[in-house]
Structure 1
Amino acid sequence: MTKIIAADLHYFPNLEFFAAIAGADELIFFPEDRYQRQSYFNRTQIRLANNVGTLSVPIQGRRPRIPLHKIKVSNDQNWVNIHLRGIQSAYGKAPFFEYYFPYFQKVFEQKTENLWDLNLQMLTICLKLLGMPVKMRVHEKDQDPTWGKDIRGLLMPSVPFSERDYYQPEPYFQLFGLDFDPNLSILDLLFCEGPASKSIVLKSVKKH
């Protein structure tokens, strides 16, 4: 039986997201869903030398509750260079940085206007590098609901992952410090562990 999951589209999703969708055959995303403040739609966390830092994509306007696919990136704030430098500073010495970074750099340099399109492109690359053959579909207004599991609105920064049933930290090699920082952006895992990333994601699926 095909496993279909309805999910939110995040900016470089964290490990909890990938644990939550592990085993899915297809993901459905909903461009007509409304923008929520304090969500992962425009932010992700990476590990820096002295702390965990947040990368946020600036958004145009006052951001009322409009459909996600209408959210425009504010490209006049030079955020692309800030994010590129941040990622290079955090992971430039990681074992698999030189292999994977060009994929993301290419998309960054396109300066995509819609955050929805940017997130979709980045997630496509992440799934490919992970070796997770998950189909992705964008839900259209008039389509019948055809999914089995709906995790939209459940993975929020305001609630610790430990209070949800998707992710249990599986430690892996990280560049800085002795203590393991769990549930960072998928970038952290990909740059540090490369081809081993998929198995680490699968081991981090919370057992019930």
Structure 2
Amino acid sequence: MIEKGALLPMFYLPPVEYFTKITQYKPDLWIERDEHFPKQTYRNRANIYSPDGLLTLVVPVVKGSKVHTPAKDVKISYDFRWQRLHWMSLQACYRRSAYFEYYEADFAPFYEQETTYLFDYNQKQLELIMRLLKIKTPPNYTETYEARYPETVTDLRNAFSAKKEVATEQKPYFQVFEERKGFLKNLSIVDLLFNQGPQAINYL
């Protein structure tokens, strides 16, 4: 049982707000491995800035991996070539950004190799992003599912909604297509990383 710190879900290319929580609560960071997989959340989707505005990238999961499957057991579906679609979208959206080419080789393998489980895939990406951001504290992982935790634990498992805008303020940073739709807040961390590069950690 976790005694203190913050408990976060595992997301795909998590939003900027997620990393502000990581920097706020490190070193007492925990990632939920054993929850039942909820649908239509950042666990398998990420928002990026496209020429037409907000674009949501969804990692498809194997049917039946929905309601009562622990997060760590949810399998990725490869029935269609979503990796190619995601990578082409990232290239199209961020090719003009200041740092995309700088990080391109780090992210490319995630769109070339197949990983069986969504949790493992997201975990490897999270480790990469934390390394690129120079966040040196690795998170801990839950061993069992607990519906409730003591008040000394900040439970953030349901704190991030892919459906509604984030309430916290985020100061604008340069985005490639901002002249079209203005500043879009709380996009995937890759939006901040590709636009701000090594300065991204200072923003967080």
Please, what TM-score do these two structures have when normalized by structure 2?
A: 0.88
Unmatched runs of 5 consecutive residues or more in structure 2: none
Q: Which residue of 2 aligns with 1:98?
A: 101
Give CA-to-partner distance per residue, 1:166-187, whole Å, 9 cap, x none: x321111111132111110000
In structure 2, how many angstroms separate the alpha carbons of the residues matched to 1:54 and 1:101?
Answer: 20
Aligned-partner Cα distance in 1 for 2:178–2:34: 41
Q: Distance in 1 between matches of 2:41 and 2:110?
A: 22
May I ask how many residue pairs the two structures share in their alignment?
Answer: 195
Structure 1 ranges of 4+ moved more than 6 A: none
Residue equivalent to 2:21: 20
C-alpha deviation, 1:5, in angstroms: 1.6
Residue 105 of structure 1: CA displacement?
A: 1.0
Match of 1:60 in 2: 62
Deviations 1:98-117 (A, max 9, x none): 11121111233221110000
Match of 2:89 in 1: 86
Give the letter for the 1:87 counterpart: L
Tell whether 2:43 aligns with 1:41. yes
State the identity as a percent.
Answer: 29
Structure 1 residues without counterparts, runs of 5 or longer: 202-208
Q: Is the 8 A contact 2:35 2:145 kept in 1?
A: no
2:125 corresponds in structure 1 to 122
Query: Aligned equivalents of 1:148 and 1:92: distance in 2?
Result: 40
Give 1:59's aligned amino acid.
V
Aligned partners of 2:32 and 2:157 also within 8 Å: no
Amino acid of the residue matched to residue 27 of structure 1? L
Question: Residues of 2 paired with 1:132 and 1:4: CA distance?
Answer: 16
- TM-score, normalization by structure 1: 0.87
Partner-residue secondary structure (3-state), 1:46: strand
Q: Distance in 1 between matches of 2:155 and 2:189?
A: 21
* 1:156 partnered with 2:161: yes
1:205 — aligned with what? none
Across the aligned residues of Structure 1 and Structure 2, the Cα RMSD in angstroms comes to 2.1
What one-letter code is carried by the residue in structure 2 that aligns with 1:200? Y
Offset, 1:21: 2.3
Mapped to 2, the partners of 1:70 and 1:95 lie a distance apart of: 37
